[in-house]
């Protein structure tokens, strides 16, 4: 049975796994999983949006900006999707 650490956000975990709305998040680290905001969460290796891995996102530098927007050292994201933008990431949208 999963322990509900963040029930208002859909994420839960037990000693071995992390779940989103009861669905296993394959490969997520239960001991290092951290809720961010606006549906985003991360562990030391990956970033997740509403339980799905955000492809290419850098866990080390990833920061949510509010309103489902986020940034890392390389790209900008909206709703867990990398924005195709010719400009480098900025601190503010």
Answer whether residue 69 is part of any domain.
yes
- Tell me, what DSSP letter sits at residue 45? S
The radius of gyration of the chain from alpha carbons, rounded to an integer in Å, stands at 13
Angle at 88 between CA 72 and CA 79, to 5 degrees: 50
Q: What are the pLDDT digits (tens) for 14-69?
A: 999 999 999 999 999 999 999 999 999 999 999 999 999 999 999 999 999 999 99
Domains in the chain, number: 1
pTM, to two decimals: 0.83
Higher pLDDT among residues 58 and 87, named by residue = 58
Which residues form the domain of 64? 3-82
Is there a domain that residue 90 lies in? no
């Amino acid at each position: 049975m999963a322990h509900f650490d963040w029930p208002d956000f859909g994420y839960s975990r037990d000693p071995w796994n992390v779940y989103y709305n009861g669905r296993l998040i394959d490969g997520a680290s239960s001991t290092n999983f951290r809720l961010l905001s606006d549906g985003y969460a991360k562990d030391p290796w990956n970033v997740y949006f509403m339980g799905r891995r955000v492809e290419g996102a850098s866990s080390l530098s990833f920061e949510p900006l509010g309103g489902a927007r986020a940034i890392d050292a390389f790209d900008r994201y909206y709703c867990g999707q990398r924005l195709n933008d010719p400009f480098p990431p900025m601190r503010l949208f």
